[in-house]
Each structure stands twice: as C-alpha cells, then as structure tokens.
Amino acid sequence: MKKKGLFFLLLLLFIGITATPGLAADLTKFKGQKITVTCWSGPYTEDFKKAYVEPFMEASGAVVVVSPGWAEFMAKIKASPEDKPPYDVFMADGWNYIAAMNINRLQPIRKENIPNAADIYPELLKREAWVKGYGVPFDGGIYLPIYVPDKIKFTPTSWKDLTRAEVSGKLSLDQTFYYGLYASAFISDKEPGVQELYSKEGMDEVFRISAELAPHVKKFYKGGAELFQLIKTGEVDMGTYYSGGTFSEMNKGTNVKMVFPDEGAVAWIGYMTVMKGAANRDLAEAFINWCIAHENQTRFANINGGWVSNKNAKIAPALVGIVPSSNEEFAKTFFFDWDLLNKQWGEIEERWKKEVLSKTK
C-alpha cells in the first residue's frame, strides 16, 4: 500500500509540474453549464471562436454562447435588469468599460480565479481596470501607418511620412476625428508623445496640422473595406488602419505593409469583465482565465493580427516589430484616452468637420 500511495503521489507531482497553469484546472466541473460572452463582430468573431470558444467548450463540456456586436452593447445592457444582464462576460474596450462602470453594471473580478494574469505584460497591469479589479487586460488593436511597398519610393518609419510630398493625393485617412487627432499629435514636435491633446495650445496645434494635411488626402474613409478598395484600385498608396484588419488583408494577398512608427502608436485595449448579476460567475472567470493562457492567445494572435496580453504568447512572424510583443513596446504604445475625448466629444467632432473634413478637395 505504501508503494502504491507513493506512486500516486509522484504521479500527482509530475502532473502539477508539467501541466500548463492556464489549462490544468479541472474545467469538466462546468459540463453542461452555460454563459454568454460578447466579442467584436466581423472577422474577429470567427477568430475568437476558433482560438478560444471552441477549445474551451471541448475541454470543459460547457456551452459558450457568443454574442457579437459593436455599438449596440451598451444599449442592451442599459435596457436589461441588473439581475438579468444580457451577457455574463462582457468584452469591453476602453469606451465600453467606462460606460459600464458609470452605470455600475460590472462586478469585481476575483483575481485568485485568474492565475494566468501573472503572465500579463506589467505595463498592461498598470491599467486602471485591472488595478481597481473590474477588468482583465485581454487584447486590442494598434493603429498604424500602412503603405503599398511597390508604389512609394521610400520606406515609412514615422507618422511624419504621412506629410511627405510623395504621397500627396495618394493618401487615405479615417474620417473619425480621434484617429486624426492622435496621428497629428504624433506628427507634432511641440510635446512628447501625444501630450498636445491635453492643453488648448496643443489641441490648436493638432488641428492646424490636420487642416494642413487634409487637402493632400484623396479620401477620408468610412471603414476598412473602403480603404482597402482604394488601395486595390491604385487610388491610394498610403493610409492608416488597425493591424488586425491589415494583417487579414495581407493574408488575402493584398500588397500592403505596416510600420510601427518611431514616435510610437495608438491602440485600443479590450478588457474581459464579468457583469453584475451574471448567472454563473465561476464559469465566467474560468473562461476569462482560459482566454489569457499563452497557448490560446498564441493561437489567436497568429490568425487575427491584433496584440494579446500574455507575455509568453507568440505572435505571427509577420507581426514582429509591428504589433507590441514586449513590455518595452507596450511602454511606447499610447491608448485612447476616452475620459479626455468624452468630455469634449461634441465640440471636437464639430470642429473636426469644420476645420479638417471641409478642407478635402
């Protein structure tokens, strides 16, 4: 009996040493249970299902209902009773996180149930959502200059390259004001980083740069599909867009490249949160912990093109040096400041239309 007991003890120790923390938990206790999780609509949905949802359901026997969307999330949350939220796990970018917190619809994350958070980049763990305990840094998209390598006679390295004469009239930028403000803040030398956005004088300088750039823009696009159509027809040789959508186009054969500029780049960050009133908090947190395991984030990063939060995840070779994949690169990444933008949204949006969009040819 002693030998048999010793054998099982050694076996348990071996399993504990060799099993991956993110995958070793006994998920089968959730068999037959169900949660609803959100994710972004479009190609992201299928990537999310393949990388996270389907493997989790196979490992646990649980049912994960995916509810894709964009702007409609908060409307559905506001319309629902607090004890019957439309989602259990709410994937919230910075804007949605603030909106949900403002109406007190998120519950604290029990960090002891998210052991894989120990592998999240330290820079991301400084974010308020994690510090306060309501959101787990998960993934995001980085907004960058993109270009057609065979069409321009230089290799872009800076946001300032958007102002070069070689791309005048062959440039396309997003029509949404905050993308342009961040791009122009990077172009400006008045302040480090994007500090121009935090003073009246700096904001005036950013608008001046944007207004000067506008006549050189072929078109301010409304969405990624429009931008890449302009690239494919040869009307545009340079622009700005997210890494994920650009990576998807590259995989389809579109002749386009990205550059992480010398000045840094701007990104959105997505948090995994648990809604107040979630029917199965334990399963929700187990799913979140699964989603930030490096194996699963590696799977996602190699098909999606966005950045992921686990420092041990491996991104696709084509994204190395483009998408942040080190703590140092995250330190050079600026995140949209939704508090700043929300305070002046209407005023800045109207000014953008009047002073910038009206200047296009």
d(CA 147, CA 104): 43
pLDDT digits (tens, 9 = 90+) for 266-314: 999 999 999 999 999 999 999 999 999 999 999 999 999 999 999 999 9
The CATH architecture one would assign to domain 28-140+269-325 is 3-Layer(aba) Sandwich (3.40)
pLDDT beyond 70 at 264: yes
pTM given for the model: 0.90
Q: Do the bridges between strand 171-174 and strand 238-242 make them parallel or antiparallel, or are there none, so unpaired? A: parallel
pLDDT of residue 25: 65
**Mean pLDDT value of segment 245-254:** 93
DSSP state string for 312-351? T----GGGTTTS--SHHHHHTEEE--HHHHHHTHHHHHHH
pLDDT digits (tens, 9 = 90+) for 107-134: 999 999 999 999 999 999 999 999 999 9
pLDDT of residue 360: 85
Higher local confidence (pLDDT), 34 or 70: 34
pLDDT of residue 127: 97
pLDDT digits (tens, 9 = 90+) for 136-159: 999 999 999 999 999 999 999 999
Every domain range in the chain assigned CATH 3.40.190.10? 28-140+269-325, 142-266+336-359
Tracing tokens 């998807």 back to the chain, one arrives at 248
The candidate with the shortest Cα–Cα distance to 307, out of 321, 324, 290, is 324
Degrees to nearest 5, angle at CA 212 with 178 and 199:
50
Correct CATH for 142-266+336-359 of 3.40.720.10, 2.60.40.10, 3.90.1150.10, 3.40.190.10:
3.40.190.10
Radius of gyration of the chain (CA): 22
pLDDT beyond 50 at 105: yes
pLDDT of residue 65: 98
Within 85-178, strands assigned E span 89-93, 106-107, 136-147, 171-174
- Name the average pLDDT for the chain: 93
Give the confidence band of 42 by pLDDT, cuts at 50, 70, 90: confident
Ranking 18-32, 172-186, 274-288, 319-333 by mean pLDDT, the lowest is 18-32
pLDDT beyond 50 at 3: no
d(CA 121, CA 137): 9
d(CA 260, CA 40): 24
DSSP state string for 276-316? TT-S-HHHHHHHHHHHTSHHHHHHHHHHH-SEESBTT----
**Mean pLDDT value of segment 317-340:** 95
